[in-house]
């Protein structure tokens, strides 16, 4: 039904109705792959050339309640304020040294220009204080051009800023939640210029894998070729080339991105020593190895006791020290033997059984890797 509806809506579809039928069959069979942890192509690959572009601008936020830049220590804010007033017909050059307002802050404005954004559409922007302003809440960003990497203006920003932070200070205490010097303006910029890009202008579209892998690239090409024979080629671990062969680019990609594949991944362990975080992939394997972990821990606890004489007795109050020393040499811990081909779940269960926490697990994994028994890539961050 979907193929017939598409063909009736688009007369050109009659030229490639056979591949549409194959695609419909592939989509019907796709749910059966869910048990194999399959995912959609659109979730693991991007269309080459379809991406965001970063924009940046410099502007002024006004209307602050005395939390703006100090003009004596922020010369760029002073110069920007004087220049803005001159453009509005107010001459303050002769009185520049007398400007003492604290309601203005110089800010940097950043935004991402999404692909295929047309003139007149709106995008979100982020506003960050550049000087010594303490809070941007309640301010208004004045008209700020946003430039691309080529120096051209692609959007213009303006609007009331919202920080979502709380900052209060008193004589003896202060409280702050969030960052009051960073704010956002939803739909705060209007796109003035688009970045031209035409899908399928060269007759070939390339998919870029977010996690490069040769096996995954081959599987994507095989799934696409089952739906549209001879249209996909895996050129490298990151790229799969799609030949349009006269097909409508948008319709072809819309159908292809819904196909499901089972992505492959290398065996990898990520260790972030600063926070003690360990992430292991499902394909991690350990060869036969024995592991023992034990530390000598000495705990010294001081519980001084006050000795005080009776009310009518002659004496003085003294403090009697009491010290308790405990020694834990880890004698209750034993060697753990891991047989060859241990899976991730078995490895974690066995290490937990030895009473090993995440911090202690980091040097153990490093030692297992050094012994050549860890069949995975160990990445330290």
Q: What percent of the chain has pLDDT over 90?
A: 33
Report in angstroms the alpha-carbon separations of 6 from 21, 248, 255, 280.
Answer: 11, 11, 11, 45
- The region of weakest confidence among 50-64, 172-186, 216-230, 264-278 is 264-278
Contact 118, 191 (CB under 8 A): yes
- Sign of the alpha-carbon torsion through 357, 360, 365, 367: negative
Q: What is the mean pLDDT of the chain?
A: 79
- Model's pTM, two decimal places? 0.66
- Whether the pLDDT of residue 212 is over 70: the answer is yes
- Whether the pLDDT of residue 8 is over 50: the answer is no
- The region of weakest confidence among 40-44, 256-260, 319-323, 325-329 is 325-329
Q: Report d(CA 157, CA 58) in Å as an integer.
A: 10
Domain boundaries, the chain: 2-50+198-261, 53-191, 268-296+326-380
- Whether the pLDDT of residue 54 is over 90: the answer is yes
- Whether the pLDDT of residue 106 is over 90: the answer is yes
Contact 263, 42 (CB under 8 A): no
**Residue 238 φ/ψ, nearest 5 degrees:** -105, -20
Look at residue 175 in the predicted model and tell me its pLDDT. 75
List 289's β-bridge partners, or say none: 338
pLDDT digits (tens, 9 = 90+) for 365-377: 787 778 777 778 8
Element (H, E) at 254: helix 249-256
Q: How confident is the model at residue 93 (pLDDT cuts 50, 70, 90)?
A: confident
């Amino acid at each position: 039904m979907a193929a017939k509806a598409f063909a009736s809506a688009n007369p050109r579809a009659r030229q490639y109705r056979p591949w549409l039928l194959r695609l419909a069959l592939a989509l019907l069979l796709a749910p059966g792959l869910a048990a194999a942890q399959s995912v959609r192509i659109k979730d693991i690959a991007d269309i080459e050339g379809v991406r965001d572009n970063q924009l940046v601008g410099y502007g002024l936020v006004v209307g602050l309640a005395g939390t703006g830049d100090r003009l004596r220590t922020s010369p760029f804010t002073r110069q920007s304020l004087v220049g803005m007033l001159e453009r509005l017909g107010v001459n303050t050059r002769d009185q520049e040294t007398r400007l003492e307002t604290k309601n203005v802050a110089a800010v940097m404005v950043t935004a991402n220009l999404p692909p295929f954004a047309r003139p007149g559409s709106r995008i979100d922007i982020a506003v960050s204080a550049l000087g010594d302003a303490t809070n941007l809440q309640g301010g208004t960003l004045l008209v700020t051009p946003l430039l691309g990497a080529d120096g051209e203006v692609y959007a213009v920003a303006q609007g009331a800023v919202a920080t979502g932070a709380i900052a209060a200070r008193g004589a003896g205490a202060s409280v702050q939640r969030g960052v009051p010097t960073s704010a956002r303006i939803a739909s705060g910029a209007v796109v003035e210029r688009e970045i031209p890009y035409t899908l399928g202008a060269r007759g070939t579209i390339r998919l870029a894998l977010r996690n490069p892998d040769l096996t995954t690239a081959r599987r994507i090409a095989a799934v696409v070729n089952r739906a549209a024979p001879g249209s996909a080629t895996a050129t490298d671990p990151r790229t799969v080339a799609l030949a349009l062969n006269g097909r409508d680019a948008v319709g072809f990609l819309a159908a292809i991105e819904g196909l499901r594949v089972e992505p492959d991944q290398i065996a990898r362990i990520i260790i972030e020593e600063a926070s003690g975080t360990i992430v292991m992939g499902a394909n991690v394997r350990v060869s036969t190895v024995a592991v023992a972990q034990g530390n000598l821990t000495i705990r010294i606890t001081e519980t001084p006791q006050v000795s005080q004489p009776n009310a009518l007795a002659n004496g003085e109050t003294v403090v009697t020290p009491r010290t308790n020393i405990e020694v834990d040499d880890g004698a209750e811990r034993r060697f753990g033997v891991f047989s060859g081909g241990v899976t991730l779940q078995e490895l974690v269960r066995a290490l937990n059984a030895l009473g090993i926490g995440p911090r202690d697990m980091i040097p153990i994994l490093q030692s297992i890797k050094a012994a050549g028994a860890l069949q995975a890539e160990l990445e330290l961050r």
